[in-house]
């Protein structure tokens, strides 16, 4: 396994689930490599691992384009590749294990629409729109809003996954117009959102006057804690448990020569064709105060 950074709680949880699944099925996971968010280091990590002739390799890419030479080298050696969360920009992979990001955006929309009872104004903090995940999450959210909640006004602001841009957007928009809810393409933006809402005396729990409905995506431990405390209303949890489980299962199957096809799976997901092969779009659960303590959520791992 070659991951982006071992300081990321999500990737640490994903590795734990992968190693647990491997243990259950009798497979061995070599010590995961840590790119420390450096695409060049990840290239070196993967190519070094390939010299050890693993039966398959699992990569959580730092950069979809930078990882292509490593994917191509694995292809040349006949070693199947599984990627997690995003497809590479080239080469061939046996499977991309990722959540259905359009569906995650739509799930966030449905919950926001319910919280606002179909009326009001929402600030959408978009991710990086040049990335598949950022674009898909925004598509799912905005199309669902247009179709199902026409009386809710959506103000869209791109962030490029950058905290300062998200914080500036919240400050600018909430200082100039009435906003009833904020949809965050990532829970990563919460510290900036909290800072601005606190300065505007609107960082208050659900049920109190001036509460701003907050719905995010990722399911980070900090988001789950804020849901417990009532400040964040909901999040859509990326399924780190399923990422780890199915990355291992697909790696074993691909190493055994199994070929995959598009269509529904037996684990409530859909396999679709992508340019580099196939992707399994795994379901991501909505987390609210009712289920925030479930141990299947990666944010509660450890």
Q: Mean pLDDT over residues 204-218, rounded?
A: 96
pLDDT, the chain, mean: 96
**Res 302 pLDDT > 70:** no
| pLDDT score for 296 | 87
Q: Which range is least confidently modeled, 127-131, 133-137, 275-279? A: 127-131
**Res 131 pLDDT > 90:** no
Q: Mean pLDDT over residues 269-282, rounded?
A: 96
**Which domains are present in the chain?**
2-93+240-282 (3.40.50.2300), 101-237 (3.40.50.2300)
Helix (H, G, I), strand (E, B) or coil at 105: helix
77: enclosing H helix or E strand: helix 68-77
Distance CA 181, CA 109 (A): 11
Burial of residue 87 (CB within 10 Å: 0-12, 13-18, 19+) is buried
**Res 223 pLDDT > 90:** yes
294 to 288, 291, 300: CA distances (angstroms): 11, 6, 7
Q: Mean pLDDT over residues 93-117, rounded?
A: 97
| pLDDT score for 283 | 93
Q: Are the beta carbons of 232 and 223 closer than 8 angstroms? A: yes
Over residues 236-250, the pLDDT tens digits come to 999 999 999 999 999
**Res 132 pLDDT > 90:** no
CA atoms within 13 A on the CB side of 194: 12
Over residues 35-61, the pLDDT tens digits come to 999 999 999 999 999 999 999 999 999
pLDDT band at 158 (very low <50, low <70, confident <90, very high): very high
**Res 210 pLDDT > 70:** yes
| pLDDT score for 7 | 87
């Amino acid at each position: 396994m070659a991951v982006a950074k071992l300081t990321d709680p999500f990737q640490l949880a994903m590795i734990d689930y992968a190693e647990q699944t491997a243990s259950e099925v009798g497979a061995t996971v070599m010590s995961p490599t840590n790119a420390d968010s450096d695409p060049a280091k990840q290239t070196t990590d993967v190519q070094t691992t390939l010299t050890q002739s693993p039966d398959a390799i699992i990569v959580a890419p730092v950069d979809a384009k930078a990882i292509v030479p490593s994917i191509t080298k694995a292809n040349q050696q006949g070693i199947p590749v599984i990627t997690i969360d995003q497809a590479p920009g080239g080469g061939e992979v046996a499977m991309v294990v990722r959540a259905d990001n359009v569906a995650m955006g739509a799930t966030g929309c449905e919950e926001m629409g319910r919280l606002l009872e179909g009326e009001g104004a929402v600030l959408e903090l978009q991710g990086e729109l040049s990335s598949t995940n950022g674009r898909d999450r925004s598509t799912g959210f905005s199309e669902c809003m247009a179709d199902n909640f026409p009386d809710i006004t959506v103000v869209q602001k791109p962030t490029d996954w950058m905290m300062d841009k998200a914080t500036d957007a919240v400050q600018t928009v909430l200082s100039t117009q009435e906003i009833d809810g904020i949809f965050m393409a990532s829970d990563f933006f919460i510290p900036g959102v909290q800072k601005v809402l606190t300065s505007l005396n609107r960082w208050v729990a659900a049920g109190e006057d001036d509460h701003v409905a907050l719905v995010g995506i990722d399911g980070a431990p900090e988001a789950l804690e804020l849901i417990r405390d009532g400040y964040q209303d909901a999040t859509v949890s990326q399924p780190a448990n399923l990422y780890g489980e199915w990355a291992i299962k697909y790696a074993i199957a691909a190493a055994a020569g199994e070929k995959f096809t598009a269509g529904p799976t037996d684990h409530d997901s859909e396999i679709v064709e992508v340019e580099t092969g196939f992707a399994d779009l795994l379901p991501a659960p909505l987390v609210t105060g009712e289920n925030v303590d479930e141990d299947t959520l990666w944010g509660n791992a450890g």
